[in-house]
Amino acid sequence: MKNLNKLSLTEVKKFLQKKGLKILYKKDKKFEILADFKNFYYTSVFGFIIVLFFFFLPIIENFKKNSQEVNNNSKSNLEKLLTGQSIETKNEELDSAKIFQDIFEFDDVPSDTVRLSATVIEQIFKDTKYNLSDVRKNKIVKPISLTLLPNEIKKIENTQKRKNLFIQIILPLILAETNQIRIDRNKLFNILNKNNNSELEKKWLKKKFKQYGVKDYDLSTLKIRMDEVPASLAIAQAAKETGWGTSRFALEGNALFGQWTYSGNGIKPLNTNSEETHKIMKFKILKASIRAYYRNLNTHSSYRNFRRLRAELRDNDEKLDSLILVDHLDKYAATGVEYTRILKKMINQNFLKDFDDVKLLPTSRRIKNQI
């Protein structure tokens, strides 16, 4: 740098302007010079703000995440429902691994794999005084849980006897799944009625959001999906898909509802061409098949109208009528409307609606208070 003390004031000013410097004061005809700290000052302040931002960012994100755990859009969705709009538009892509995770876990649960004969099962029902005539009259079913259908069911020549045995086997299992949904639904409404939720409740909600394919933490969607299916409709579909329990899929894979899968774990239908890669999903026990059926109707986009109508019936305090709801299951089979017509006929001819009001005897006082 030049010796500024040997320059004139004008020269000093020009020199300093070129260097971006300022003259602070003059002392003893000597100029003491300091750099322009204005840019440095602003840079320091801006840097400090950036440091603070990244320091508080995790706290802000954590607060935002917690606040999203119970995003309740009930009012806006109710308005959409009343105007006939769809209210399940944000959850089209479902994660099947998460939705069916608890069902796949049945494969890891030890179970009695002994297949009882039809004669033994009939004797068990007789010893426990379990018959459909009493069920229709008293509306009570004992919690008799069988894991497999008897192979002899397809050999029972008497059609009515075969139908009765099939219903007796699956009815307690259907009611048990209905009870579990009722327990979960009551818990959900209890959570909704609280201002603050515990960590256990938040963890439970997170689990249910995954099981029902709700990706945006929308409680109104969860309420619509977490609901039951009339017993008469479940029985009719199981009977239609399995020929009243006589199909190969039912006997070999406990598949009561003909659900498709494209993975290796399934039963290949006969008489299919090489281009068709689907299989019928198989299960270790009947209970798993029934839960998969409920989860399928409660999550898949093909049955959105079914869930919408069910929600409308709930809002109007009306009974869940299988003969009304079945109209929106036309996408369940390739035959469409003809499929729903057959289901209606089966419900009426076999008086299956008698089982819609039936209750399963609870196994404990705690469960009794929850359903």
Structure tokens at 104: 């796949």
**Of the candidate ranges 106-110, 224-228, 332-336, the one whose mean pLDDT is the lowest:** 106-110
Say what the pLDDT of residue 42 is: 57
Residue from 143, 329, 155 nearest 233 by CA: 329
What's the chain's average pLDDT?
Answer: 80
Note whether 9 and 23 are within 8 A (CB): no
* Higher-confidence position of 62 and 192: 192
Instruction: For the chain, report the end-to-end CA distance as a whole number of angstroms.
Output: 90
Say what the pLDDT of residue 269 is: 80
* Cα–Cα dist 258/237, whole Å: 9
Say what the pLDDT of residue 177 is: 96
Tell whether the torsion through CA atoms of 308, 313, 314 and 320 is positive or negative: negative
* Higher-confidence position of 361 and 362: 361
Structure tokens at 212: 């029902």
Query: Is the pLDDT assigned to residue 8 strictly greater than 50?
Result: yes
Residue from 122, 102, 110, 344 nearest 211 by CA: 102
Note whether 343 and 237 are within 8 A (CB): yes
* Cα–Cα dist 370/363, whole Å: 12
Say what the pLDDT of residue 358 is: 96
